[in-house]
Amino acid sequence: MIDQRKVSVVIPCYNESEGIPKLYDALCQVFAQVTDVAFEVVCVDDGSRDDTLDKLVALAAKDHRFHIVELSRNFGKEAAMTAGIDESTGDAVIPFDADLQDPPELIPEMIRAWLGGAEVVLACRSNRAADSFMKRTTANAFYQFHNQVSSIKIPKNVGDFRLMDRIVVDALKQLPEHHRFMKGLFAWVGFKTVTIDYVRQVRSAGESKFSGWKLWNFAVEGFTSFSTAPLKFWSYVGAFGALATFIYAAIIVARTLIFGVDVPGYASLLVAILFFGSLQLISVGVLGEYIGRIYMETKNRPIYLVRKRHHQSAK
């Protein structure tokens, strides 16, 4: 007798209390449609400040498919997703957001593609009308710029929602870095991939946990994780500035020899000093981003800490 294959759905949760009942109902409806695989749901409470954890623990008490991982504090979504992937035991893993913007109804189609031989099944947002104009614009700019400067190409409009075979998950678990940009790591490991299009929905409840500042820092994390182009860019700026300075100095010398000494221009001198001083500060800041990453990696702290696990055994 062949054991039934199992799919793990990994859900990072942070202050998602309002949406937990809808999430549970939606997942149960989808699970009832798929009879050829078993399911487990690994919910990671990332230090929620509301009663998200209590509701998750209640789900685990009544449904043995739900396993709750309680982190010791808020470590961030990337760390919580890593914890869920590490805890999962399925033959395939599906990271999924608790806000239901990614439709769980797509899961059966992803499983069919996986059973058909795909090792990674990407869910691509064909329509992002549910997102604000600013979010769509900045997201497009991020994908275009990142894929220009990095050798690792991130599929456009593809988030964390995807299915990964166990072989892909095992490959991800070999990556030791502590500052984790999961979209980049997913793309880096590769494997046989197919894509399914879908329309992104509005949040079922609650508010987004990503402010504009957090999204900016997330983008910087992506750029510095998979590209050294920013460092090279400032090398080119420095070289161009040195060349321009040499040419301008030659012009000044020639003009002085021909026309004599001009009255110094204090305003232009001040502008030049401020301009090049600002460039130096920016370049030092870019260098600091990389040095900071090296510093944090050398500490070798764990990506997350688990306070407690909540689950019941299958009857």
- In this structure, are strands 92-95 and 5-13 parallel, antiparallel, or unpaired? parallel
HSE-up (13 A, CA, CB side) for residue 126: 6
pLDDT of residue 219: 59
Collapse the DSSP code of 131 into the 3-class scheme (helix H, G, I; strand E, B; otherwise coil) and give the result.
Answer: coil
pTM of the model: 0.68
Map out the domains of the chain as residue ranges: 5-226+303-310, 229-299
Residues whose CB is less than 8 angstroms from the CB of residue 221 and which lie 6 or more positions away in sequence, other chains included: 179, 181
> Any residues with CB less than 8 A from the CB of 109 and at least 6 apart, and which?
196
pLDDT for 59 = 87
CATH number at 5-226+303-310? 3.90.550.10
| Mean pLDDT, contiguous 10-residue spans, the chain (315 residues) | 77 87 88 86 89 87 89 88 89 88 87 88 75 64 66 75 90 83 81 82 53 57 62 69 70 69 58 70 75 76 86 58
Q: What is the mean pLDDT of the chain?
A: 77
Instruction: Write down the pLDDT at residue 314.
Output: 45
Q: Name residue, tokens 């870019």.
A: 286
**Torsion-angle region of 204 (φ positive above 0: left; ψ -120 to 50: alpha; else: beta):** alpha
* Amino acid 131: pLDDT: 60
Kindly list the distances between the CA atom of residue 4 and the CA atoms of 86, 90, 112, 118, in Å, as whole numbers in the listed order. 21, 10, 15, 18
117 φψ region: left (φ > 0), alpha (ψ -120 to 50), beta (else):
left
Q: What is the pLDDT of residues 171-224, one digit of tens each?
A: 988 888 877 778 778 888 888 888 888 877 655 454 555 555 555 565 566 556
Rg for the chain, CA atoms, rounded: 25
Are 24 and 92 contacting, i.e. CB atoms less than 8 angstroms apart?
no
Q: Is 309 helix (H, G, I), strand (E, B) or coil?
A: strand
Q: How far is CA 13 from CA 135, 233, 299, in A?
A: 22, 38, 27
Integer distance in angstroms from the first to the last C-alpha of the chain? 20
CB 46 within 8 A of CB 124: no
